[in-house]
C-alpha cells in the first residue's frame, strides 16, 4: 500500500517584528494583558509589498531544499490560506509560477486555522490513491490585512507567516491517519463576513470573533480530535513525542496538553513569538522544531488545527 511521508519542512517569517509594547503605544492595551491572556509577546507582519504567495514561496523553497527535490518534481501543490493574493487565480497557481514549475495540479484550500491539517490530509489522500507521487503542502497567511487595527480584542492576536512540507510516496507511513471535522452552524463565532460585489465591499472585510466561545469550543474539539486520530492510527497518546496544536493561545495549548495527559515538555509552543498565523501556524512550528533538532526522524508528532468554519482536525505523523 502506498503511504506518504514528510520529506522536508520549511518556513518563512517576514522580517518586521512588532512587540506588544509597540501595540500598546498605538492602542489601549498592554504587554501584561496580552501575555497573561494569550502568551503572545510579539508577531511578524508582512511588508506592504509582500503577498501570501511571496511568503509561501520562501517557505516552499526551504521545504523543497530540505527534501532534496526541485519544484518540477512536485506534481501537486496545495496552499491552505484564508488570505489569498486574489479572488482568483489561486495562490497555489501563483506559487507554482513563482517556483518556475508547471503542469502539476495546484489549488487552494480554505479551512481557516485548520487549513494546514486539512491540506495535509488532502495531499496524503492523493498520494495514497496513487495519482500523485509528491506534494508541496503550504500554509501561508497575511492576516494583518484582514484585521481591524482599532479592535484591540482581535488585532493583538494575529501575525503573518508561512510554513510548508514536502510529502513523498513511501512504503511506510509517514502520515498514519488524519481526522477532519466541521460544524458550519458555528460560522458566526469567527468570521470575516464580507465579500466584493460590483466593486464594493459588502459586509465587513475585518475579522470578527467571539473569543470566549472560540476558546471553549477549541479546547473541547482539540481534545476530541487528538483521541480520535490516536485511535485511528493505532498509536496511544503516551507514544506521541510532540503535540503541535494550532498556535492560537498559550492557554488553549496548555489546556489541551493537560487534558490529553501529555507533559508540558512535549508541547510545541511558538505562539509567544509568532502569534496566531492561522493556516501557517502548524507548519511554522513544525519546521522550527525540526530545524532546532528537537523533532527528530522517527518521532511521532500530532498536528492539530482548529478555527473558523468552525473547523478542526488532526494528523498523526512519524517523521
Name the residue whose CB lies closest to ligand UT7. 211
Catalytic residue, from 113, 132, 176, 249: name it: 113
Please identify, using beta-carbon distances, which residue of 43 and 62 lies nearer to ligand UT7: 43
Q: Is 93 a catalytic residue?
A: no
Torsions phi, psi of 76, nearest 5?
Answer: -150, 130
Catalytic residue among 20, 93, 132, 276: 276
Residue of 225, 251, 227 whose CA lies nearest to 238:
227
Distances (CA, A) of 46 to 15, 143, 149: 8, 9, 15
Quote the least distance from Cβ 113 to ligand UT7, whole Å.
4
- We find the least distance from the C-beta atom of residue 51 to ligand UT7, in angstroms, to be 21
**Minimal distance in Å, beta carbon 303 to ligand UT7?**
15
Distance CA 106, CA 137 (A): 10
Write down the least CB distance from residue 130 to ligand UT7, Å: 34
**Binding site residues, ligand UT7, CB under 6 A:** 29, 33-34, 37-38, 113, 152-153, 156, 190, 211-212, 214-215, 218, 246, 248-249, 252, 276, 307
Cβ proximity to ligand UT7, 229 vs 252, nearer residue = 252
Query: DSSP of 205-228, one letter per residue?
Result: SS-EE-HHHHHHHHHHHHHHHHHH
Q: Which is nearer to ligand UT7, 95 or 214 (CB)?
A: 214
**Whose Cβ is closer to ligand UT7: residue 76's or residue 282's?**
282
Contact 281, 115 (CB under 8 A): no
Q: Which is nearer to ligand UT7, 75 or 141 (CB)?
A: 141
| Catalytic (active site) residue 276 | yes
C-alpha cell read off for 304: 492539530
Q: Is 150 a catalytic residue?
A: no
Helix, strand or coil for residue 18?
strand
The nearest distance, CB 244 to ligand UT7, in angstroms, is 14
> Could you give the strand order of the β-sheet that contains 311-318, starting from the edge strand earlier in sequence?
175-182, 311-318, 300-307, 242-245
Rg, Å, the chain Cα set: 18
The residue annotated as part of the active site, out of 44, 176, 246, 274, is 246
Q: What is the DSSP letter of 192?
A: -
**Residues assigned a catalytic role:** 113, 246, 276
Amino acid at each position: 500500500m502506498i503511504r506518504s511521508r514528510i520529506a522536508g519542512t520549511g518556513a518563512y517569517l517576514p522580517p518586521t517584528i512588532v512587540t506588544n509594547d509597540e501595540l500598546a503605544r498605538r492602542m489601549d492595551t498592554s504587554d501584561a494583558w496580552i501575555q497573561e491572556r494569550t502568551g503572545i509577546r510579539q508577531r511578524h507582519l508582512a511588508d506592504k509589498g509582500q503577498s501570501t504567495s511571496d511568503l509561501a514561496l520562501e517557505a516552499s523553497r526551504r521545504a523543497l531544499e530540505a527534501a532534496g527535490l526541485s519544484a518540477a518534481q512536485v506534481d501537486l501543490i496545495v496552499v491552505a490560506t484564508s488570505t489569498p493574493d486574489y479572488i482568483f487565480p489561486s495562490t497555489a497557481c501563483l506559487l507554482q509560477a513563482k517556483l518556475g514549475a508547471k503542469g502539476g495540479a495546484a489549488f487552494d484550500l480554505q479551512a481557516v486555522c485548520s487549513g494546514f491539517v486539512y491540506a495535509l490530509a488532502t495531499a496524503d489522500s492523493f498520494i495514497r490513491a496513487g495519482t500523485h507521487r509528491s506534494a508541496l503542502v503550504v500554509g501561508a497567511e497575511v492576516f494583518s490585512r484582514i484585521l481591524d487595527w482599532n479592535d484591540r480584542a482581535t488585532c493583538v492576536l494575529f501575525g503573518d507567516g508561512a510554513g510548508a512540507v514536502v510529502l513523498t510516496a513511501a512504503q511506510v507511513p509517514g502520515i498514519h491517519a488524519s481526522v477532519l471535522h466541521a460544524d458550519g452552524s458555528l460560522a458566526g463565532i469567527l468570521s470575516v463576513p464580507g465579500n466584493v460585489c460590483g466593486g464594493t465591499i459588502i459586509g465587513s472585510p475585518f475579522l470578527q470573533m467571539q473569543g470566549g466561545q472560540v476558546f471553549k469550543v477549541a479546547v473541547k474539539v482539540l481534545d476530541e480530535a487528538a483521541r480520535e486520530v490516536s485511535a485511528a492510527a493505532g498509536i496511544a497518546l503516551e507514544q506521541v513525542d510532540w503535540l503541535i496544536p494550532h498556535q492560537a493561545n498559550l492557554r488553549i495549548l496548555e489546556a489541551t496538553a493537560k487534558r490529553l495527559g501529555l507533559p508540558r515538555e512535549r508541547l510545541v509552543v511558538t505562539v509567544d513569538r509568532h502569534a496566531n498565523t492561522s493556516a501557517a501556524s502548524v507548519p511554522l512550528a513544525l519546521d522550527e522544531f525540526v530545524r532546532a533538532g528537537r523533532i527528530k526522524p522517527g518521532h511521532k508528532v500530532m498536528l492539530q488545527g482548529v478555527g473558523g468554519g468552525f473547523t478542526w482536525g488532526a494528523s498523526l505523523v512519524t517523521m
